[in-house]
Structure 1
Amino acid sequence: MGTKKMGADVLTPPPEIENSLALDKLKLSDQGHEGNDCTAEALATAQLLYVVSNPASRELHEEAAKSLPGGNTRSLLHNAPFPIAIKRGSGYSLISEDGHTYTDLVGELTAGLFGHSNPLIHSTLKAALDNVGLSLGATTRLESQHARLMCDRFGLDRVRFTNSGTEANMHAIQAARRYTGKRKVVVFAGGYHGAVFCFASGAPASNNVDLDDWVVAEFNNVADARAKIEGTDGVAAVLVEGMQGAGPCIVGTDDFLQAVQASARKAGAVFILDEVMTSRLAPGGLQSLVSLKPDLTSFGKYLGGGITFGAFGGRLDIMAVYDPRVANSLAHSGTFNNNTLGMSAGYVGLSQIYTPEVAVAFNKVGDDLRSKLQDASVGTKMTVTGRGSVLGIHFLKDGRKELLSVKERQDDVQLKELFGFEMLVDGFWITRRGSIALVMGTPQSELDRFVSCVKRFLKRHEKFVKL
């Protein structure tokens, strides 16, 4: 696993796998492996290799399950038969409890932009601990300087801080409801706006809040968006991602996003652009790439410098509903909204590390990587979506090269899982769903090696990857 196996053209099971008693002892899950027998056989071999190569992770998972439901406290991080446990991170690399080293292509789902040991982030956090302190229960100059920077960078009149992107969207929606006096919110199939704002299946998830207040339209469908926004009574807000992060990385077309904004304005609804994952795609966020001017924008992820963070901001008149100087304004509480670590690291990260010039250059690296991977995918079931430094790798039964909505996404689940297992063997940390968010400082040589490993994967499994 990890760098111990990098670049192998053939995955050879260790001796343990050839022992039938060992196979029985492993008790591997075969859920979701029906279908092509060749794919299933390759997947079973890869999964066996995974198990015998990560005994410490397996043991830690079994111990965690004694205290945490399923040994897990963040659903996305669960993988069958068990997740690999990471011991530490350094720069662009992760080291597992089993001693394997991986190049981090997950980037904490866009939050890990600065890597795992940026010296300026480290010194900033230490300075905050030494000179400011924790949990002061008061306002500090730190929050106002970060707020000013965000307003200038993203074109906001006012901004407020939260602890996550979920909270940012929650408070943005409540601002829209107070401002308009309405309740319904138009969202889009495949959208994800936080733990209780999920629409992956095209309908509100069962644990969503306000289940009766959502109107779900089709993503990248201008006619359906207009009909739902303009034809529904009581719409307070329209909430959309410019690129659906959980898709993963299904990009909204310029025409679609412009139409959504126009329809929201026509209907008298607040247009909320979720930039929790996409604000890193350009100096002024994705909205600056497609000439959008949302009424409110939600933020999160890297803007806390690696510390828990969320924010929402936009028009002065709408944000005024949270002004505590105004009678009957909305309350916005949160013990750690202005925590000193996030305010310090976020400010330094945005002002000194991820400057506008750096953002442009870094996203060009991502565009180049996506282009190389898409070129490699010609004639196969693999396709690559995304924008800039955030991309998604898909294995689709019909092999389409343009993916406009989750409705069009017919995954070859076995191939997707096989790819995830084998990239781990090559020393790359990626999510099973195929999300990639580049980490600053990753050498070009590692990105080129990733492209080479993907090409070898496609060649190695040519008989069931080709269209």
Structure 2
Amino acid sequence: MSTTQANATLVNTSLDAAYTEAAERFVAANPKSKAIQEQAEKAMPGGNTRTVLHYHPFPLRFARGEGCYLWDADGHQLVDFLGEYTAGLYGHSEPVIREAIKQAADDGWVLGGPNLLEARLAQTIVDRFPALERVRFTNSGTEANLMAIAAARAFTGRDRVMVFKGGYHGGVLYFGGSPLNAPFDYVMGDYNDAEGSAALIREQGDRLACVLVEPMCGSGGCLPGSVEFLQSLRDATRETGALLIFDEVMTSRLSPEGLHGLLGITPDLLTLGKYLGGGLSFGAFGGRAEILDRFDPRRPDGWPHAGTFNNNVFTMSAGLAGLTHKYTPERAVMLNAAGDSLRGRLNDAIARRGLPLVVAGRGSMMAVHPGTTVPMSPPEAGRRPRKLIDLMHLDLIAGGVYTARRGMAVLSLPMGAAEFDRFVAAFEEFLDARRPVIEEAGRSIGKAGG
């Protein structure tokens, strides 16, 4: 394995023992991150202000980033395959975006009125995604989904929302997974169950305002929705008068036209975020003109939509520069082809060793799961032994590769062959060094029937 791992005595007597050893090694290698964590706990609960970034024994604290690399507080260099959960598509300190931000700063910010950039960014986004006839900006994907749901309820005159078990649509949109959820009346279907989902939509009838779904579950494990499943939602919502909302906050990066454009399934409303702000805080929602035009402030019955920083000049400038100069349609195709190739290499490495792991995903987004088949839904993924993925996370860090704790890996534009090779090498080292506990996890899945 890496030098750090080669100098350690790897423990593989059980998954728990292996994880304990890896965690102890992590603590010893990162004293400055540990000290910063302890100091942070005095001012923030758990030393944290963003739950997803916390992991045991403590999260690395980063000092800087450049290109597709990160340096933590203890001076370790890592290839950044977390990619800010898809928002970091441009990498760190991309010159084109840095210059756009500098120009925005030179021209002044918090201007208190429409600026010269927002309409240009809006038109660029509308031209890019087939589902959009009109668009409005927000500050995050969470806000975008909240506004899309609110718009659907107002437009239809109905209250109920349909989502899917284990889905995630923002900080207050876990649906069943958090006591802090927004108080929407909702029902939950099973992801990738075409027949059951269509039946539930028809059963809800004129009580159902909208169906909110990711065409590929992002935080749920990069689990693609089947065309049959997504088309069944389109057909059933059209039949009952409910609106179909595609949450493409993550997945819009997967083709020049977003995943809905690639699949040829057009929702009524679309939500966006992440990389489209050029790496700054951003969200957007849009769709059919007859729905979005209800937000026209010139109408006496126009719906209000506030947000001090919806059109902030930094995001408008960075987002426009990124889409027009860096993430062109041609680059989108190339990046996602590179992701498909990398995922294939990882699955080939698993297959050569006959191990019970699988890498799910599409294009530039992927995630590793215990088991020999891709889970069909987030709940199925959650029933598999997650401690194995926790162990992989720590082992990959020791090998110089930074991924999401949940096993997710995301590509960014600065990456090339050297970074992909480094990821494959670190992953193969994990497979070889941890074979006994990987096989143990596989047996546990078989016993549980998962």
- Common topology (TM > 0.5): yes
Q: Is contact 1:298–1:313 with CA below 8 Å preserved after alignment?
A: yes
Deviations 1:24-77 (A, max 9, x none): xxxxxxxxxxxx952222221111110011111111011110000110000001
| Shift in Å, 1:225 | 0.6
Q: Corresponding residue for 2:189? A: 217
Q: Is contact 1:323–1:329 with CA below 8 Å preserved after alignment?
A: yes
Alpha-carbon separation, structure 1, partners of 2:384 and 2:39? 33
Q: Corresponding residue for 1:31? A: none
| Shift in Å, 1:408 | 2.2
Pair 1:393-2:389 in alignment: no
- Structure 1: gaps of 5 or more residues: 18-35
Pair 1:75-2:51 in alignment: yes
Instruction: Give the alignment partner of residue 136 of structure 2, picking from 136, 141, 160.
Output: 160
Q: Could you state the TM-score of these two structures normalised by the residue count of structure 1? A: 0.90
For residues 48 and 237 of structure 1, do their structure 2 counterparts lie closer, same or farther at Cα, with a shift above 3 Å needed?
same
Q: Corresponding residue for 2:125? A: 150
Q: Give the % identical residues.
A: 43
Q: Is contact 2:13–2:437 with CA below 8 Å preserved after alignment?
A: no
Instruction: Give the alignment partner of residue 326 of structure 1, picking from 295, 299, 305.
Output: 299
Alpha-carbon separation, structure 2, partners of 1:374 and 1:257? 26
Q: Corresponding residue for 1:103? A: 79
Alpha-carbon separation, structure 1, partners of 2:145 and 2:3? 42
Alpha-carbon separation, structure 2, partners of 1:293 and 1:276? 16
Q: Is contact 1:13–1:49 with CA below 8 Å preserved after alignment?
A: no
Q: Is contact 2:248–2:270 with CA below 8 Å preserved after alignment?
A: yes
Q: Corresponding residue for 1:284? A: 257
| Shift in Å, 1:172 | 0.7
Alpha-carbon separation, structure 1, partners of 2:333 and 2:300? 43
Q: Is contact 1:9–1:460 with CA below 8 Å preserved after alignment?
A: no
The amino acid of 1:125's aligned partner reads I
- 1:207-246 to structure 2, matched below 5 A, reads 207-211=180-184, 213-233=185-205, 234-246=207-219
SS of 2:56's partner is coil
State how many pairs are aligned. Answer: 435
SS of 2:6's partner is coil
SS of 1:187's partner is strand
The amino acid of 1:46's aligned partner reads A
| Shift in Å, 1:431 | 1.3
Q: Corresponding residue for 1:427? A: 400
Alpha-carbon separation, structure 2, partners of 1:11 and 1:420? 19
Q: Is contact 1:10–1:460 with CA below 8 Å preserved after alignment?
A: no
The amino acid of 2:247's aligned partner reads D
Deviations 1:373-412 (A, max 9, x none): 11222222211111100111122xxx23222112322322
SS of 1:232's partner is helix
Q: Corresponding residue for 1:299? A: 272
Q: Corresponding residue for 1:44? A: 20
The amino acid of 1:215's aligned partner reads V
The amino acid of 1:10's aligned partner reads A
Alpha-carbon separation, structure 2, partners of 1:401 and 1:69? 38
Alpha-carbon separation, structure 2, partners of 1:193 and 1:47? 31
- Structure 2: gaps of 5 or more residues: 443-450
Q: Corresponding residue for 2:174? A: 198
Q: Corresponding residue for 1:402? A: 374
For residues 365 and 426 of structure 1, do their structure 2 counterparts lie closer, same or farther at Cα, with a shift above 3 Å needed?
same
SS of 2:404's partner is coil
The amino acid of 1:179's aligned partner reads F
Q: Corresponding residue for 1:267? A: 240
Deviations 1:253-272 (A, max 9, x none): 11111111111111101111
| Shift in Å, 1:205 | 2.7
| Shift in Å, 1:307 | 0.8
Alpha-carbon separation, structure 1, partners of 2:356 and 2:220? 17
The amino acid of 1:181's aligned partner reads G
Alpha-carbon separation, structure 1, partners of 2:243 and 2:153? 9
Alpha-carbon separation, structure 2, partners of 1:82 and 1:302? 27
SS of 2:21's partner is helix
Alpha-carbon separation, structure 2, partners of 1:107 and 1:69? 25
Instruction: Give the alignment partner of residue 6 of structure 2, picking from 10, 16, 28.
Output: 10
SS of 2:14's partner is helix
| Shift in Å, 1:9 | 6.5
For residues 7 and 375 of structure 1, do their structure 2 counterparts lie closer, same or farther at Cα, with a shift above 3 Å needed?
farther
Instruction: Give the alignment partner of residue 255 of structure 1, picking from 218, 228, 231.
Output: 228
The amino acid of 2:139's aligned partner reads N
